């Protein structure tokens, strides 16, 4: 796999706008190429500014041809403050003209985690286009990065990292004492594009560890990202602060 493309932006606001432009470019290309855009959103806090930037301006692409999915979800009700769906709905989905039936949240029920994962795998199989090899394929997977190197809910040391036969899995995260539902590494690596959006000084050590080590090192979940169409890192200057000077341009 070619080395990931990395772009560094002065602050979280300019990072969000640069990432929004990149998402819009990928969306328009997907719609031009196969008539639709299938995007798996990231959860957490970092993407909120990106979603808001996309909702604030005029629609940068045809939302009527867009399907929205989620890379992972916490096992909480959809209106819970911890819900990734709620964050995306408030910052983006309630503010753009996407047909409601084209929004595919993960129904993550803490009492039925494996059933929730299976149900979402069926949803993906029903709506996602197929790769040339026949696998469900996102046009874009947006990911954040945890300080421990997790992406989506693929946390270091969890079984899901070895469940490549699954598209979606239930993940028990010891340090959170909580279940999550997450798309698998195998499914992420089938994607046409993966965009990692990373901001803040608390991510700088992990960014330096991952981008500073030889490609092919696969100790951490983030180091096992090898998407079909390429991996792009969008960083703000604080997250890039510990990169060697030649990379922190
Ligand atoms: C989640 C995300 C998770 C997140 C990272 C970074 O559900 O929390 O999927 O993988 O992207 O933990 O989170 P922040 O953007 O809040 O730093």
Question: Ligand 1 mean position to 15 CA, how many Å?
Answer: 16
CA–CA dist 62, 85 (Å, integer): 21
> Counting atoms of ligand 1 from 1, which one is nearest the CA of 182?
9
101-160 per-position pLDDT tens digit: 999 999 999 999 999 999 999 999 999 999 998 999 999 999 999 999 999 999 999 999
Tokens standing for residue 154: 């693929």
CA–CA dist 120, 106 (Å, integer): 6
61-74 per-position pLDDT tens digit: 999 999 999 999 99
The whole-number pLDDT of residue 137 equals 97
Q: Which residue has the higher pLDDT, 224 or 247?
A: 224
The three-state secondary structure class of 45 is: coil
Strands (E) across 49-122 are located at: 66-70, 72-74
Task: Give the binding-site residues of ligand 1, using a 6 Å CB cut-off.
Answer: 42-46, 71-72, 84, 144-146, 150-152
Tokens standing for residue 117: 């994962």
Question: Ligand 1 mean position to 33 CA, how many Å?
Answer: 30
158-215 per-position pLDDT tens digit: 999 999 899 999 999 999 999 999 999 999 999 999 999 999 999 999 999 999 877 7
> Counting atoms of ligand 1 from 1, which one is nearest the CA of 153?
10
CA–CA dist 202, 216 (Å, integer): 24
The whole-number pLDDT of residue 247 equals 57
Q: Considering only 2-16, 66-80, 94-108, 213-227, which range has the smallest mean pLDDT?
A: 213-227
Residue located nearest, by CA, to atom 8 of ligand 1: 44
Tokens standing for residue 34: 């196969």
16-62 per-position pLDDT tens digit: 999 999 999 999 999 999 999 999 999 999 999 999 999 998 899 99
The whole-number pLDDT of residue 8 equals 97
- What is the mean predicted confidence (pLDDT) over 75-81? 96
The pTM for the full model equals 0.96
Residue located nearest, by CA, to atom 7 of ligand 1: 43
Pocket residue to mutate for ligand 1, from 43, 88, 181, 233, most atoms within 8 A of Cβ:
43
- Residue 228: pLDDT band by 50, 70, 90 thresholds? confident
The edge-to-edge listing of strands for the beta sheet with 140-143 is: 5-9, 231-236, 194-198, 140-143, 37-41, 66-70
């Amino acid at each position: 796999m070619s080395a990931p493309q990395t772009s560094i932006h002065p602050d979280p606001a300019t990072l969000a706008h640069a990432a929004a432009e990149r998402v819009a470019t990928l969306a328009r290309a997907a719609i031009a190429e196969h008539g639709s855009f299938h995007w798996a959103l990231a959860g957490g806090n970092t993407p909120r500014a990106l979603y808001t930037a996309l909702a604030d301006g005029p629609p940068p692409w045809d939302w009527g041809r867009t399907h929205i999915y989620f890379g992972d979800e916490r096992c909480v009700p959809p209106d819970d403050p911890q819900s990734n769906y709620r964050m995306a709905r408030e910052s983006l989905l309630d503010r753009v003209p996407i047909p409601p039936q084209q929004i595919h949240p993960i129904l993550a029920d803490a009492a039925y985690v494996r059933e929730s994962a299976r149900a979402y795998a069926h949803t993906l199989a029903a709506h996602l286009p197929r790769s040339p090899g026949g696998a469900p394929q996102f046009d874009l997977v947006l990911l954040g990065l945890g300080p421990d190197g997790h992406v989506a809910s693929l946390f270091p040391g969890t079984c899901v990292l070895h469940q490549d036969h699954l598209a979606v899995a239930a993940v028990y995260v010891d340090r959170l004492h909580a279940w999550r539902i997450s798309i698998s590494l195998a499914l992420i690596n089938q994607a046409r594009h993966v965009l990692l959006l990373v901001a803040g000084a608390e991510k700088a050590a992990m960014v330096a560890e991952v981008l500073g080590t030889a490609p092919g090192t696969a100790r951490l979940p983030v180091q096992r990202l090898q998407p079909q169409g390429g991996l792009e890192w969008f960083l703000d200057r604080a997250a890039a602060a510990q990169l060697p000077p030649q990379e922190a341009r």
